[in-house]
Amino acid sequence: MLGPVPPAVYVEIDIAADLPQVWELTQEPSLHQRWDLRFSEITYEGAPLDDGTQRFRYSRRIVPGFVVTGWGETVGESRREDGAAASALRFGSDQKRSLIHEGSGYWRYLPTDGGVRFLTRYDYEVRWGVLGRVLDRLFFRRAIGWATAYSFDTLRLWLEKHVEPVHPLRALAAGRSPRDLPRASRCLRRPRTP
């Protein structure tokens, strides 16, 4: 037996930027794919449906010659009177090589005195039976959680310090300070307790 179901991936970061700026860099595919380590490419498929749902395709090149592709749909956005915003999505892959079969989650944008608290929570089902569940628990869930946190800090640096998302080795070679490199450790990985 594998024990309890692992927790969903949760990542949160405070960003000193206006909500419309954060929204644009997270909702526009050509910008989103620049800062999010989990994706090599994101493209919308046609116009939004009548209910506002937007379908998209994504890919991630793992190593040369090994690409995982998938599908997704944003299932809406909402803006509340308090100024917060949210975006929900479903995603998955039909490729047998993808450990992730299907999942869902959300992004929340909460106004703060200093900008926006940007957070996500998502979970997914894996394929490959017991082997897939073991790989997910021992390695993959931690790795994708780390990649999400690293990406959120990349986004923060882009918005706060105008540090363009680039590979860390290129950034160091170009003379960027190590302080201006993304770090997953700058993010919360568990929800705040009230």
Contact by Cβ (8 Å): 180, 157? yes
3 falls within a domain = no
4 falls within a domain = no
The set of residues, in sequence order, having a beta carbon less than 8 Å from that of 169 and lying 6+ positions away, is none
- Our count of domains for the chain comes to 1
Stretches in the chain below the pLDDT threshold 50: none
1 falls within a domain = no
Contact by Cβ (8 Å): 101, 127? yes
Cα–Cα distance between 105 and 121 in angstroms, integer? 5
pLDDT at residue number 76: 64
191 falls within a domain = no
107 falls within a domain = yes
192 falls within a domain = no
pLDDT at residue number 111: 95
Cα–Cα distance between 152 and 11 in angstroms, integer? 8
- At 84, which CATH number? 3.30.530.20
Cα–Cα distance between 32 and 41 in angstroms, integer? 9
pLDDT at residue number 92: 97
25 falls within a domain = yes
44 falls within a domain = yes
Task: Judge if pTM exceeds 0.85.
Answer: yes
pLDDT, tens digit, for every residue of 74-96?
A: 876 767 778 899 999 999 999 99
- Domain range holding 149? 9-186
pLDDT at residue number 2: 67
